[in-house]
C-alpha cells in the first residue's frame, strides 16, 4: 500500500505537475483572444471611416461623370459628323484618282518621252539663237552644240560652212533668220533617205529581217512594229530567230501573246536560219501578210557572226529569191559615233533598207542619224 501510495503519489505528482505546467499555457491564449477582440473593436471605427470616405469619393465621381456627359455627347456627335464628311469626300477622291491615268494617253506619254531629245536638238538650238548677233563667236558656239548632239565632225563642218556662206551672201544680221536656215540645212540632209516603211502587198509574206548589235532593242521594236501593222488590218507572224540569247524566244512569245500573233520558234541553240525558213513556209501556208524575223545581236566587227547573218539571208533566198524584202538595222540613239560603224558594216554584209532608232525617250541626242545619212 505504501508503494501504491508512493506510486500514486508519484503519478499524482507527475500529472499534477503537468497540469500546473499546462495551465499557464492556456491563459496567454485567452489573453490573446481578448486582445484580438479589443483590437478589432479599435479597428472597426477606422473601417467605417474608410467606407464613408469611399462612398464620398463615389458620389464625387458620379457628380463629375454626370457633369461631363453633355461634353462627351457633343464630342461624339462631332466625331460622327467628321466621319460622315470623310465618307462623303472619299468617293470624290477615288474618282479623281481614277481619272488621272485617262488624262495622258499613249501619244501623250510618247510626246513626254521624246521631250528630252526635242530639247537637245530642236528647242535647245532655238534658245541658243535668241538675242545674239551673227559673228564668229556664234558660229563657234553653234559648232560645239552640234558636236554635243552627236551629229559628227564631217556633218557639222558641212553645216557650219553652208550657214557661213548663207549669212555672208544674204548679209544676215538677225540670228533668228540663221536659225531658220539651220533647220533647212538639217532637213536637206535627211530628205534623200527619209522614206517611210511601205509594205509590198504583192509579196506574201512580206519578210522583214531585223539586225543589230546586242541590247539595242530589236525584239521590242519587233513587238511594236507587229502591233502597228496589226492595227492597219494586216496579218502578222513572228519568227524567233534569236536562238542564242537566254529568254529571247520567251520574250518574243510574250509579244505575240499580247497581240494575239503567232510565233514560230524552236529551242535555244537551234539554227537561226532553219527557224526563219520554217516561219516563211508557215506564213505562206496561212496566207500571212507580214513576217518579222528576229536575229541574235552581234558585233559588227566579229566576222564569224556577220558570216552567220549572211547565211540567214542566203537560206531565205532559197525559199523566195526576193526575200528578205526589208532589212532593218536597229540602232541605240545613245550609241554615238559608233553607230556609223555599225551602219556601214551591216550594210556591207547584208544590204540595209532601213534603220530603226530606239531609246529616244532618254537623254540620247539621236543626232548620229544625220551623220549616217551623210556617210552610208
| CB burial of residue 94 (10 Å; 0-12, 13-18, 19+) | exposed
* 118-161 pLDDT, tens digit each: 555 555 566 667 667 788 888 898 898 888 888 889 999 999 99
Binding-site residues for GTP sit at: 212-219, 294-298, 358-361
Residues in the chain: 376
Can you give the pLDDT at residue 226? 94
Q: Residue 133 has what DSSP assignment?
A: B
Report yes or no: 199 and 233 within 8 Å, Cβ to Cβ.
no
Q: What is the mean predicted confidence (pLDDT) over 179-207?
A: 89
The model's pTM is: 0.65
Q: What's the pLDDT tens digit per position in 63-80?
A: 555 555 555 555 555 555
CB 272 within 8 A of CB 282: no
**Torsion (CA) 216, 219, 225, 227 in degrees, nearest 10:** -140
- The annotation places the binding site at 212-219, 294-298, 358-361
Calculate ∠ Cα 163-166-171, nearest 5°. Answer: 125
More confident residue, 26 or 139: 139
Task: Indicate left, alpha or beta for 154 from its phi (over 0: left) and psi (-120 to 50: alpha).
Answer: alpha
Q: What is the pLDDT of residues 334-353, one digit of tens each?
A: 888 889 999 999 999 999 99
343/333 Cα distance (integer angstroms): 13
- More reliable by pLDDT, 63 or 252: 252
- Higher pLDDT: 119 or 93? It is 119
Amino acid at each position: 500500500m505504501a508503494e501504491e501510495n508512493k506510486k500514486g503519489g508519484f503519478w499524482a505528482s507527475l500529472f499534477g505537475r503537468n497540469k500546473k505546467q499546462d495551465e499557464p499555457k492556456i491563459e496567454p491564449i485567452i489573453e490573446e483572444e481578448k486582445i484580438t477582440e479589443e483590437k478589432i473593436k479599435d479597428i472597426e471605427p477606422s473601417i467605417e471611416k474608410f467606407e464613408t470616405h469611399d462612398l464620398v469619393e463615389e458620389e464625387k465621381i458620379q457628380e463629375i461623370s454626370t457633369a461631363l456627359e453633355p461634353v462627351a455627347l457633343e464630342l461624339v456627335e462631332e466625331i460622327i459628323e467628321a466621319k460622315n464628311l470623310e465618307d462623303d469626300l472619299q468617293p470624290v477622291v477615288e474618282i479623281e484618282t481614277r481619272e488621272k491615268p485617262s488624262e495622258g494617253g499613249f501619244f501623250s506619254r510618247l510626246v513626254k518621252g521624246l521631250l528630252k531629245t526635242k530639247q537637245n536638238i530642236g528647242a535647245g538650238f532655238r534658245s541658243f539663237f535668241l538675242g545674239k548677233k551673227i559673228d564668229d563667236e556664234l558660229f563657234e558656239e553653234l559648232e560645239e552644240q552640234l558636236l554635243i548632239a552627236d551629229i559628227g565632225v564631217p556633218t557639222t563642218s558641212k553645216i557650219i560652212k553652208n550657214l557661213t556662206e548663207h549669212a555672208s551672201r544674204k548679209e544676215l544680221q538677225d540670228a533668228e533668220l540663221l536659225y531658220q536656215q539651220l533647220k533647212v540645212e538639217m532637213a536637206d540632209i535627211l530628205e534623200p533617205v527619209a522614206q517611210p516603211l511601205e509594205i509590198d502587198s504583192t509579196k506574201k509574206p512580206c519578210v522583214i529581217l531585223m539586225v543589230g548589235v546586242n541590247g539595242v532593242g530589236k525584239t521590242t521594236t519587233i513587238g511594236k512594229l507587229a502591233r502597228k501593222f496589226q492595227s492597219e488590218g494586216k496579218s502578222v507572224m513572228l519568227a524567233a530567230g534569236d536562238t542564242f540569247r537566254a529568254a529571247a524566244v520567251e520574250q518574243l512569245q510574250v509579244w505575240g501573246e499580247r497581240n494575239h500573233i503567232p510565233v514560230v520558234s524552236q529551242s535555244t541553240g537551234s539554227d537561226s536560219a532553219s527557224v526563219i525558213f520554217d516561219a516563211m513556209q508557215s506564213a505562206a501556208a496561212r496566207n500571212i501578210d507580214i513576217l518579222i524575223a528576229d536575229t541574235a545581236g552581234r558585233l559588227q566587227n566579229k566576222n564569224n557572226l556577220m558570216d552567220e547573218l549572211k547565211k540567214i539571208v542566203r537560206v531565205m533566198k532559197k525559199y523566195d529569191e526576193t526575200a528578205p524584202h526589208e532589212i532593218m538595222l536597229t540602232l541605240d540613239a545613245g550609241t554615238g559615233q559608233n553607230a556609223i560603224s555599225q551602219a556601214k558594216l551591216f550594210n556591207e554584209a547584208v544590204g540595209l533598207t532601213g534603220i530603226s532608232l530606239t531609246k529616244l525617250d532618254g537623254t540620247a541626242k539621236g543626232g548620229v542619224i544625220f551623220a549616217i545619212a551623210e556617210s552610208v
